[in-house]
Structure 1
Amino acid sequence: MKRHNPDSFLIKATLLLISTLTVMAGAAIAPSLPAMEKHFADVENAEYLVKLALTIPALFIALFSFIVGMSINRIGRKRLLLFSTLLFACAGSAGFILNSLWAIILSRALLGMSAAGTMTGVMTIISDYYPGQKRASFMGLQAAAMGLGGMVFAAVGGISADFNWRFPFLIYILAFFVFILTAIALYEPEEDKHENNKKLAFVLPKESIGIIYGLGLIYMVAYYLIFVQLPFYLLEISNASAAQSGIALAVSTLAGAIASSQYGAIKKRLDFSIIIIIAFALTAVGQFIMGFGDSYRVELCGLIIAGVGFGLVMPNFSNWLATIVPNHFRGRVLGGLTTFLFLGQFISPIISQPIVNVVGFSNTYSLSAILLLQLAITLLVVKISTAFIAEKI
């Protein structure tokens, strides 16, 4: 049916815009953190609480994504997205008028709940709309859109934060427009009766799913150091303004967007595990450069390389899971992925801040790079060993 054509421009544009909302949750206000901390300096533990305002959406995304994934078949994809985008707009923009740091943190928690719905819903509906290689290509395009969105949100957030730390919260009003597009453009996918008949006999590959979840968690703990600590690190080494921090984050996300846009072509040539290894290694190299860098320009070089790794790994995780499970299980499995990715985001500052306090920013980035590189080498050794044993058998 033509009116249910997932290849239409309006449907694709709507799905991509929904995807950018999750990036907006953090990227929009990241450059304003130093100014927020200064504004709430009289609040006890303001240093930690301001960073919590950035990362608490990730905790609530983690807490609610699996629940959303388990219930998405009953709620419906489109209904979930409509409710989530509306709540996202209201909760996200609330920080512009709230005068209490704790009230802002509460609004950010609601933002996380809504983002759990948007991310789980959009990943599931993309997996339903597009099969096989089409899915790989579109997930690459989705990650590219998220990267471009992150670039725009970080840059606009940084520039506006130089005027007032509250202005970046106005960016979330964009979600009202996305809500309208969702109502007009999207449709509820039809249930695949043949696949539905097989679902009771299907056994989830729990070991593979667990490995992907674990890798996603570790990667996000390491990678999110960039968003949480970079504005403070750049302020320390180059007295960078909020706008400069926003531009730095924007450059990194642009590099990721370009890499993600090529994911479909890369996936044709490489398997999932090799892409993971390459992505982890690239992010490690980028963070090594950041750790040893002593200027704004050197940090940009590291951010670009790390961004390329991120651009490859994100569509790879979701596409890998969507490929190994049937339609009926995608919502809960992709919801689980969202849980682990954003749990990693939330605990990143909890783990990194004590380390930063002891060894400093540069050594923290270097330690993160060592962790990612060790994982990449371990995965490569396992990959080679498994292939060798299979060949002998």
Structure 2
Amino acid sequence: METKNALPPLPRSVSLVRAGNPSPPSHFFRNVTLLSVSTLTIMSGATISASLPGIAARFADLPNVELLSRLVLTLPALFIAVFSPVAGWVIDRYGRKPLLIVMLPLFAVAGCSGLFADSLFGLLAGRAVLGIAVGGIMTTATALVGDFFAGTERDRYMGLQQAFVGIGGTIFLTGGGFMAELHWRAPFLIYALAFLLLPAALTFIREPIRPAAMQTRTAPDGLGTHGTLLLAVLLIGAVLNMVAFYMIPTQLPFYLRSLGLEAPSLAGMAIGLGQLVGIASSLVFARFRQMLGVMGVFALAFGSMGSAFVLLSVAGTYPGILFAMAVSGIGMGTIMPNFAGAAMLLASPTLRGRVSGLLVASVFTGQFLSPLLSQPLIAAKGYAATYGMAGLMLLVFAFGSLVVRLSPRPRDAAT
């Protein structure tokens, strides 16, 4: 995917900030702030999943409450997908920091609206606004990583970022479950953490120096035909990856129940094991990236996830499920930083925000579509067959990535 011939060199000025080169301590606090902001994105839906039964009970008099209560969980993904490309255009035209500073308090207010909403439709409206805020935060954070880091440093940071997302997911999901036992509204209080990050973002995030084409608002450099095609393939791959990946949190509990494993904690432990392996693999993502290249990491990630889904389809025992989830963690920890890293390699500085927005939109489009596409297959073929088909699809992606990685290429390429 990436070659030195096909991709423009990264200008030195892109990694600078307006106040000059910050001291190493400033770099440290900037990086910690960005990592902390990244953990917010995992809170967009799953944090309040344990509250769904309480929400359904509170508004039980409404028609279709079972469907509407589940929209509380999935609606943000739709608005993230819709708004992220708009956010990308805004930050390319007007800068990164202003939108981030607006979106952090919006995230907190919209997220906490569940503490006070008196109607289910008011609750859904708050979740829609939350999706807009998450789209802006994720798009800005991805673009800032592209602005502040290059080469191996970028790979290392993206791996660390994915690890923070995994750690944050574990903490917020567990905390949300305990808080939901107190009251179904209690997990919505977690979103107020964004208020605590606002002072850090104001202090430590500096606006990157913007290329002349952005400062004068002239037309930015295009990707070219070859770059546009590669980006399209990347975005389609991100959608399909999330369609398959999201079958784990949305369908695995029901699959376990169909096998006679009904305790909710069993699903939580299986998914948690995959997350733990994912955290470990994300921490060595930079090393994988150096050794294997972009397409080699895609082959590894799609291969591990495809193998895990095939293992899920034939597993009849809980130990077999745990082994499959451990295998899936290799892909969980490496595929998202690889998508982001590949997108940043394709994007020139003037297009980085828009490319980031399209990538975020693709990820959440796949998340939103996953249950809509997998549920009819499950109804017709069953859980095992559906996981098997998804696994075969992922293995085809892995084989295609491996073919591209091993194909003849220019001597200076780094595919």
Compute the TM-score of the two structures, normalised by the length of structure 1.
0.89
2:185 to 161, 166, 172: 166
CA distance in 2, matches of 1:272, 1:199: 29
Answering whether residue 100 of structure 2 is matched by residue 81 of structure 1, we say yes
Contact kept in structure 2, 1:59 and 1:112, CA below 8 Å: yes
Q: 1:106 aligns with which of 125, 134, 137?
A: 125
1:387 match: 408
Aligned to 1:155: 174
Pairs within 5 Å for 1:343-362: 343-362=365-384
- Tell me the distance in 2 between the aligned counterparts of 1:104 and 1:290: 36
The answer as to 2:305 corresponding to 1:267 is no
Q: Work out whether residues 275 and 313 of structure 1, in 8 Å CA contact, stay in contact via their aligned partners in 2.
A: yes
- CA deviation map 1:116-137 (0-9, x unaligned): 1100000111111112221111
Q: How big is the shift at 1:41?
A: 5.1
Alignment pair present for 1:239 and 2:262: yes
Contact 1:290 1:365 survives alignment (8 Å): yes
- Is 1:220 the equivalent of 2:242? yes
- 2:106–2:133 Cα contact (<8 Å) kept: yes
**Residue matched to 1:133:** 152
Could you tell me how far apart the structure 2 residues matched to 1:268 and 1:195 are?
32
Matched, 1:253 2:275: yes
- Give 1:316's aligned residue: 338
- Whether the aligned pair in 2 keeps the contact of 1:68 and 1:117 (CA below 8 Å) is yes
Whether contact under 8 Å (1:196, 1:328) holds in the other structure is no
Moved more, 91-100 or 292-301: 292-301
Task: Check the 8 A contact 1:57/1:112 in 2, yes or no.
Answer: yes
The worse-fitting range, judged by mean Cα deviation, of 227-236 and 338-347 is 227-236
Secondary structure of the corresponding residue to residue 408 of structure 2? helix
Instruction: Provide the residue aligned with 1:60 in structure 2.
Output: 79
Secondary structure of the equivalent of 1:387?
coil
Aligned mates of 2:378, 2:198 — CA distance in 1: 40
1:285-337 deviation digits (Å, cap 9, x = unpaired): 22233333345544333223223202111000111111122211111111111
Question: 30, 46, 70: which is aligned to 2:89?
Answer: 70
Q: Answer whether contact 1:155 1:250 (CA < 8 A) is retained.
A: no
Contact 1:253 1:307 in 2 (8 A): yes
C-alpha offsets along residues 55-108 of structure 1, whole Å, 9 cap, x if unaligned?
221111110111111121333211111111111111112223334333322221
Matched residue type, 1:187: R
Whether the 8 Å CA contact 1:139–1:315 is kept in 2: the answer is: yes
Cα deviation per residue 1:17-70 (whole Å; 9 max; x = unaligned)?
111111111231234445545655554334433332222211111101111111
CA displacement at 1:266 relative to structure 2: 1.2
User: Relative to 1, partners in 2 of residues 1:376 and 1:43: Cα closer, same or farther, differing over 3 Å?
Assistant: farther
Whole-Å Cα distance in 2 between the matches of residues 248 and 168 of structure 1?
A: 23
Distance 1:343 1:303, change over 3 A: same
- Are residue 276 (structure 1) and residue 295 (structure 2) matched? no
Amino acid at match of 2:299: I
Check the 8 A contact 2:214/2:220 in 1, yes or no: no
- 1:352-376 deviation line (CA, Å, top 9, x unaligned): 2222333333333222212212222
* C-alpha spacing 1:4/1:199, structure 2 compared with 1 (3 Å): farther
1:186 positional shift: 0.9
**Structure 2 Cα separation of the partners of residues 182 and 332 of structure 1:** 21
More displaced stretch, 255-264 vs 282-291 = 282-291
Amino acid at match of 2:79: F
Equivalent pairs, count? 388
TM-score (norm 2): 0.84
Paired amino acid for 1:28 = T
How large is the Cα RMSD of the aligned pairs?
A: 2.8
Higher helix share: 1
**Partner AA of 1:333 in structure 2:** V
1:90 aligns with 2:109: yes
Provide structure 2 residue ranges, at least 5 long, that are not aligned to the other structure: 1-19
Partner SS for 1:29: helix
Where do 1:277-356 residues align within 5 Å?
277-356=299-378
Separation of aligned partners in 2, 1:200 and 1:165 = 48
| More displaced 10-residue stretch of structure 1: 196-205 or 118-127 | 196-205
Residue aligning to 1:122: 141
Whether 1:190 aligns to 2:213 is no
Distance 1:157 1:76 in 2: 34
Letter in 1 for 2:173: A
